[in-house]
Amino acid sequence: MLRVGLIGYGTIGKDTAQYIMEKKAGNVELVSILVRDMSRVQSDLPQEVFCDQPDEFFAKDLDIVVEGAGHHAVQLYAERALTSGSDFIVSSVGAFNDQSLLDRTLKAAEEAGKRLIVPSAAVGGLDRIAAGAVGPLDEITLKTSKPPKAWFGTAVEEQVDLNNLTEPVCVFEGNARESSRRFPESVNVSAALSLAGLGLDETKVQVFVDPNINRNVHEIFAAGKFGEIRLQIQNTPSPNNPKTGYIVAMSIAKVLKNLSTNLVIGC
């Protein structure tokens, strides 16, 4: 049985913990959850599972550490998780718009003999994109559209009147490195897609606020030696955090299952 630790107990962390406890994440044990403030934890899980001291968390002999706490958590803990002897599953992939952070993390993984694991999370088709990149790939584009409620608390509030929007508005057009830097909580999909394919600087991204939708929609086009792929994903936003969707924790549970059971699907 693999020993798992979670960083963060927000929407992603709570859903991932639930899937583990419900035995939907394979043959894994939830050993510890690292939070910023123990006094704010509200959970039916045993209190001893939680800690707010990184030294205590990383001393738990964890096989896998799952990040679900944002870009800053990746910056703080990606290398440490790997050097402590754990594989590291990252949900806030956009943190790797910082090339030096990505380089250091990959070096730490290599030296420790561990893996940096990027789940499909809110996007789809990463297995096909990664396979196509062998070919090589010629082009990848991503169009991300989210309803206004997903953009409150972000820089988009300064660009658009979210309360009175009546038609879709493009709030960004550029590459994935810049989109993941500008929207750290909302466009992690562009970074994941980039790492699977052409890289952050060559992946084209458009970002829309759309008052006519109630789901987070990602439309992908990729072309290369393998042929073409056109894919549309519509994710149901979490009621607790409309910037993310249920599928993110589901995807992490699927990765844990792949790592801990004998049948591996979708690699």
Q: Do β-strands 87-90 and 116-117 pair in parallel, antiparallel, or remain unpaired?
A: parallel
The length of the chain in residues reads 267
Centre a 10 Å sphere on the Cβ of residue 250 and count the other Cβ atoms it contains.
Answer: 17
Residues facing 144 on adjacent strands: 207, 218
Report the C-alpha dihedral over residues 255, 24, 238, 215, rounded to 10 degrees. 70
Known active-site residue 218: yes
Q: How far apart are the first and last CA of the chain?
A: 21
DSSP state of 121: T
Torsion of CA 184, 187, 193, 195, to 10 degrees: -10
How far out from the chain centre does Cα 56 lie?
Answer: 25
Q: Which of 182, 218, 254, 257 is catalytic?
A: 218
Catalytic residue numbers, as ranges:
218
